[in-house]
Amino acid sequence: MSDDTAGSTQGIPFLKGHGTENDFVIVPDPDGLLDIGPADVARLCDRRAGIGADGLLRVVRSAAHPEAAGMAAEAEWFMDYRNADGSIAEMCGNGSRVFARYLAQAGHAEAGDLAIATRAGVRRVHLAKDGPDGPGEITVDMGRAVLPGPDAIEVAVGARRWPARNVNMGNPHAVAFVDDLDQAGDLLTAPALSPAEAYPTGANVEFVVDRGPAHVAMRVHERGSGETRSCGTGACAVAVAAARRDGADPAVTGRPAAYRVDVAGGRLLITEHPDGRVEMTGPAVIVAHGTLDL
Name 23's Cβ contacts closer than 8 Å, sequence gap at least 6. 16, 17, 52, 53, 54, 229
Phi, psi of 225 (to 5 degrees): -130, -20
Name 132's Cβ contacts closer than 8 Å, sequence gap at least 6. none
Identify whether the C-beta of residue 255 lies closer than 8 Å to the C-beta of residue 221: no
pLDDT at 9 over 60: no
Within 10 Å of residue 240's Cβ, how many Cβ atoms? Answer: 29
Instruction: Give dist(CA 255, CA 249) in Å, integer.
Output: 8
* Residue at 123: amino acid letter: R
Q: Which of 188, 209, 225 is nearest to 262 (CA)?
A: 209
CATH 3.10.310.10 placement within the chain:
12-141+283-292, 153-275
Q: In terms of CATH architecture, what is 12-141+283-292? A: Roll (3.10)
Give the model confidence (pLDDT) of 266-282 as tens digits: 999 999 999 999 999 99
Identify whether the C-beta of residue 122 lies closer than 8 Å to the C-beta of residue 95: no
Give the number of C-alpha atoms closer than 13 A to the C-alpha of residue 258, restricted to the C-beta side. 6
pLDDT at 4 over 60: no
Instruction: Give dist(CA 54, CA 57) in Å, integer.
Output: 10
Residue 226, Cβ density class (10 Å: 0-12 exposed, 13-18 middle, ≥19 buried) = middle
Q: How confident is the model at residue 10, as a pLDDT? A: 75
Q: Which of 285, 278, 263, 250 is nearest to 102 (CA)?
A: 285
CA R_g for the chain: 19
Considering the candidates 75, 92, 125, 220, report the single residue annotated as catalytic. 92
Give the number of C-alpha atoms closer than 13 A to the C-alpha of residue 198, restricted to the C-beta side. 23
Residue with the larger pLDDT of the pair 11 and 164: 164
Give the model confidence (pLDDT) of 106-143 as tens digits: 999 999 999 999 999 999 999 999 877 778 999 999 99
Residue with the larger pLDDT of the pair 249 and 189: 249
Could you tell me the pLDDT band of residue 48, with boundaries at 50, 70 and 90? very high
Name 115's Cβ contacts closer than 8 Å, sequence gap at least 6. 74, 75, 76, 122, 123, 124, 125
Q: Which of 44, 67, 69 is nearest to 57 (CA)?
A: 44
Q: How confident is the model at residue 138, as a pLDDT? A: 97
pLDDT at 6 over 60: no
Considering the candidates 89, 231, 237, 268, report the single residue annotated as catalytic. 231
Instruction: Give dist(CA 125, CA 290) in Å, integer.
Output: 26
Q: Which of 280, 266, 277, 196 is nearest to 232 (CA)?
A: 280
Name 197's Cβ contacts closer than 8 Å, sequence gap at least 6. none
Length of the chain: 294
Identify whether the C-beta of residue 43 lies closer than 8 Å to the C-beta of residue 49: yes
Active site residue 92: yes
Q: How confident is the model at residue 3, as a pLDDT? A: 52
Name 48's Cβ contacts closer than 8 Å, sequence gap at least 6. none
Rounded mean pLDDT, 18-25 = 97
153-275 topology per CATH: Diaminopimelate Epimerase; Chain A, domain 1 (3.10.310)
